[in-house]
Amino acid sequence: MEQNTLTQRPVTFASFGLRTITMQGAGFVYEDGTPFNAVEYSRFKYGDTGVARAYGFEMAAHLEARVLQAAVRHCEPVVITASAYKMLPTAARSVAQVIYDRLHATGYKVDAGRIHRLNLTNGDYAAMTAEERASAMRQNGIHIDEDLFLGRHVIVVDDIKITGAHERSIREMFASRAILSLTHIYVVQMDPRLVAKDPTAEDTLNRSWVNGLEQLGELIADNPSKYLFNARTVKLILSSPLNELGPFLSTLTIEHIRKLYEGANGDGYHLMQPYAAGFLCLEAEARIRGII
């Protein structure tokens, strides 16, 4: 337990996941050996809002029992936020929105907050080692609008806990601020023994089904009006071979192209070497569609 220097009231820090998984052979399983639906999780990471909705309902029930009931008894306010992002949201953002809506629908008065991120990772965070993750988090420049968080119980929604580097950076940011508590909740926690052996196992999990533009195109086509582009999706698109990228972009609606272009431009992917060529291709498509 750490001491909040502004209020001198002890601030509790908690962290838990709905499930813990590890690898068995080439697949992912729960601790008891039951198969984990890695295909569903992969779809979620690449923008499937239907899966996010299912995760959000489950997480809302856990939060009600573990955080909200005590806060309500003491008439203390609660704010919910997703993990940090700049312009394009993380997959966790769609889950956080579901939780917020679900809790409001069941009568809880919670606020919505946001953790801003100034700097982005130039590459795939899921494929980084523990040391690379820690270095990336030291440079991410996270910050908040304090009025939305001070004097509240803070709940941070994230998709997966691997090394805990992102959680530690958020704890450090809140340690000197006058909040009541900080709770991290994850869809999945990866077995620490697997993480110690291979922290890049997250990348394998993320790509369990979506492993390129073909699968991503199928995912978008399943429910185009509700599909949500997130940072991971945009990185996949912009880093794809140009001979595949052009035909893929031509299948998207004008609204998809608009959101994709505005998000990629806002996050500065045109300035990052792995995505610069793909961004030019996207920019050309945006011009053809009359967006710019």
What are the tens digits of pLDDT across the range 214-233?
999 999 999 998 899 999 99
Note the pLDDT of residue 118: 87
Q: Mean pLDDT score of the chain, rounded to an integer? A: 91
Task: Among 148, 172, 206, identify where a domain stops.
Answer: 206
Contacts of 265 (CB under 8 A, 6+ apart): 279
Containing domain of residue 90, as a range?
2-206
**pLDDT tens, position by position, 103-126:** 999 999 899 999 999 877 766 666
pLDDT given at position 137 = 62
pLDDT exceeds 80 at position 2 = no
Instruction: Please say which residue of 175, 206, 237 terminates a domain.
Output: 206
- At residue 5, does pLDDT exceed 50? no
Both 29 and 165 in one domain: the answer is: yes
DSSP string, 67-130: IIHHHHHTT--EEEEESPBSSSPPHHHHHHHHHHHHHHHTT--EEE--EEESS--SS-GGG--H
Q: Residues 34, 106: one domain?
A: yes
Q: Which of 14, 50, 70, 15 is nearest to 192 (CA)?
A: 15
179 shares its domain with 253: no
Indicate the number of domains in the chain.
2
Question: For residue range 262-277, what is the model confidence (pLDDT) as tens digits?
Answer: 999 999 999 999 999 9
Give, in order, the Cα–Cα distances in Å from 265 to each of 109, 132, 251, 282. Answer: 35, 25, 20, 10
- State the pLDDT at residue 141: 80
Q: Do 154 and 179 touch, CB atoms closer than 8 A?
A: yes
Record the pTM.
0.89
Question: Angle at CA 191, nearest 5°, toward 189 and 195?
Answer: 100
Q: Each residue of 67-100: pLDDT tens digit?
A: 999 898 899 999 999 999 999 999 999 999 999 9
Q: Say which range, 4-13, 18-27, 91-100, has the weakest mean pLDDT.
A: 4-13
Confidence of residue 127 (pLDDT cuts 50, 70, 90): low
Q: Does one domain contain both 145 and 47? A: yes
pLDDT band at 134, cuts 50/70/90? Answer: low
Q: Is the separation of the CB atoms in 187 and 181 below 8 Å?
A: no
From 184, 206, 228, give the residue that closes a domain.
206
Work out the average pLDDT over 48-65.
96
